[in-house]
Amino acid sequence: MSEYKNRPFLARLGCALQGLAHGVRSERSLRVQLLALAAALAALAILRPGALWCALVLLSAAVVLAAELFNTAIERLADELHPGQHPGIRIAKDCAAAGVLVAVLGALAVGLALLAHLLMK
């Protein structure tokens, strides 16, 4: 069994925070998405749309960030295991990127639905 299995919670939390920090340092798209989250938080503070809308926006943002981090993990792992070009690796990376795109489109749909809701009031 790996020495990393069944580690204490704080050790696992430290690893997760290191992964987040690496993503922020190395991925421009993650930094852009964090800026979008900051803008969304500011908009929620100003518009005060209600708890359910706030939860939907925050959940959507979390899904986008998680998808981007999974995409980064897949890209790094693939590059480490197979540094050269390979059609299978390209497909895996493209699918991971498509997952981010789907998450972003879902978050955009939530944002547009919120705007429509506020405009109809």
Residues recognised as catalytic: 68
Q: Which amino acid is at 97?
A: A
| Cβ atoms 114, 53 nearer than 8 A | yes
| Cβ atoms 33, 64 nearer than 8 A | yes
